[in-house]
Each structure stands twice: as C-alpha cells, then as structure tokens.
Amino acid sequence: MRSVKETLKEFLFPPRCAVCGSLLPLEKEERLLCPDCLAHPPFLTGEKCRICGRPVDNDVLCHRCRHKDFLFTAGTAAFSYETMQEEIAAFKFHGYRHEGERLSHLMAEYLLQEHPGWATWADVLTEVPLHANKLRFRGFNQAEILCEGLAKETGMHHVPGVLERLVDTLPQNSLKAAQRKENLKNVFGAAKKDVIAGKHVLLLDDIFTTGTTLQECTRTLLRAGAAEVRIYCLSVVCKEEDFEQNSIEKT
C-alpha cells in the first residue's frame, strides 16, 4: 500500500519523459523516456566538435571553438540545449531535484555509447561549483547531482567539492560574451589539491555556452596539479540565435 507521502509526490510531480516532458503512466514511473524518445533518444551523434560537442560538418572544431584557446583537451555534450531547455530549467531553477537522477542516467548512457574510454580515462570526476550563497538559495548544486548519478552508473570516482567558488559573481547568462571572462577572473579555488595532483579530471556542468566558466575551472585545476582536464556537459548551445540570447539575457 502506498503511503500518503508517495501519493502526494505522484500528484505534485507526476512522472514525465526526461526529454520531451510528456506525462508517463504512473505504473511506468521507473521509465525515463516516453516510447517515442526511448525509440529515438535525441543524443548528439555523428560529427561533433571535439571541444564542446556541437555538431560540425567535416571538421574537428566548430567555428566558435576554432577561435578559442581552451585549456581542457577535449569535451562533449549529450544533448543540444535547445532540446533540453525546459527540462534543465525544471531541474535547475524550480527545485525538481529528482529530475537529476533521470538526466544523469541519460548522461551515463550517452558517455558509454559515444565515448566509452572516458570512464576509465578519468581518475576523478568533479563538478563546476556554486557559491555558498547560491547553494543555500537553491538547496543543491545541479552539476553535483549529475555527477553522483553518473558515477553510480559508470563506476567513475566522484569527488565533490574539488573546486570552490570564492566570489559570488553576477550570473554568466546576464552578461555579454565579452564580459564573461572578466566576471570569472580569480573566482575559483582548488579545495582538494591532493586529490587531483597528477590526475586526469573529468569536469561536469549542465550547459556549455561560451565555455568561459569551464575554462576558468580548468585553469584552476591545472594550476593545482591536474595532469589533464576534459569536460562533459549535459547540453551545449547549438543555434547561433540561442547562443547570442544566452550570452546577453538572464534566464
């Protein structure tokens, strides 16, 4: 017999497809996807930029990453931001923490399918940190939740809190692309240097937009002694108009 708490949870948070958001039957709550999305998961496949995971045509870098000097050596993303925008917003801004378990399952499936060697390459899996003020307000770090689920399904060694955010900066999505680098200057610190010294680090975040946050986190990890850093994001902004909007508007 189901408890009152479980029944109330089902009423307030009915199971939905982790991609398209369509309602799932209650008896199928353990499923992550609706039949359509299960049959054809909208993963980013085919030719992709080796830095951000954005689709490309007959090239190793997209035109955005071609003009950047990123410190991380490789990167990938499971979905386009345009596909996952509503799901990410529900998870990140509306406190639907349980969505993280569903999304991390999909991230694990994608990584093992598209980059099977990365799980064994990584000595340490860690996340982009939130400042303590934002963490108290939100109640959780969405990237850390994704790391927990990813580690559980792939066997990677997740070490939370390797990085710390020393300054409570303006949100990156409230700034123009040119302002983002200055906003994050000297913002991050390494709280667990002994864990990453000489190690391969896989750094996780939810969205790759300009890559500025990931660049500064990577800089901090390398200065703290990491041997190499790769990045893995749930999504990457693919459309140019969405890239511009994410660069100048607060969402």
Structural domain span for residue 76: 50-248
Same domain, 234 and 148: yes
Same domain, 18 and 133: no
Same domain, 23 and 130: no
Report the pLDDT value the prediction gives residue 13, as an integer from 0 to 100: 65
Report the pLDDT value the prediction gives residue 248, as an integer from 0 to 100: 36
Same domain, 58 and 108: yes
Q: Which CATH number belongs to the domain containing residue 156 in this structure?
A: 3.40.50.2020
CA gap 150, 170 in Å, rounded:
29
Q: Please, are residues 163 and 188 in contact by the beta-carbon 8 Å criterion?
A: yes
More confidently predicted of 183 and 65: 65
190 phi/psi in degrees, rounded to 5: -100, 115
Q: What separation in angstroms does the CA of 44 have from each of 78, 150, 237?
A: 6, 18, 12
Averaged pLDDT score across all residues of the chain: 84
Largest distance between two CA atoms of the chain: 59
Same domain, 4 and 128: no
Q: How many CB atoms lie within 10 A of CB 119?
A: 18
CA gap 135, 163 in Å, rounded:
14
CA gap 163, 218 in Å, rounded:
10
Q: Please, are residues 78 and 222 in contact by the beta-carbon 8 Å criterion?
A: no
Q: Please, are residues 163 and 126 in contact by the beta-carbon 8 Å criterion?
A: yes
Same domain, 15 and 68: no
Residue 10 pLDDT more than 60? no
Residue 209, in any domain of the structure: yes
Task: Work out the percent of the chain whose per-residue pLDDT is above 90.
Answer: 53
Residue type (1 letter), 138: R
Q: Please, are residues 96 and 90 in contact by the beta-carbon 8 Å criterion?
A: yes
Same domain, 91 and 138: yes
Tens digits of per-residue pLDDT, 12-55?
A: 667 778 778 788 876 655 556 788 887 788 999 999 999 999 99
Report the pLDDT value the prediction gives residue 125, as an integer from 0 to 100: 98
Task: Work out the percent of the chain whose per-residue pLDDT is above 70.
Answer: 78
More confidently predicted of 97 and 116: 116
Same domain, 27 and 150: no
Report the pLDDT value the prediction gives residue 249, as an integer from 0 to 100: 36
Tens digits of per-residue pLDDT, 120-158?
A: 999 999 999 998 888 787 788 999 999 999 999 999 999
Residue type (1 letter), 157: H
Domain count, the chain: 2
Same domain, 140 and 223: yes
CA gap 118, 76 in Å, rounded:
11
Residue 9 pLDDT more than 80? no
HSE-CB for 53 with a 13 A CA cutoff: 27
Residue 120, in any domain of the structure: yes
Q: Please, are residues 5 and 13 in contact by the beta-carbon 8 Å criterion?
A: no
Q: Please, are residues 139 and 181 in contact by the beta-carbon 8 Å criterion?
A: no
Same domain, 28 and 76: no
Choice among 25-39, 56-70, 199-213 with the minimum mean pLDDT = 25-39
Residue 45, in any domain of the structure: no
Residue 92, in any domain of the structure: yes
Same domain, 30 and 65: no
CA gap 31, 154 in Å, rounded:
19
HSE-CB for 54 with a 13 A CA cutoff: 22
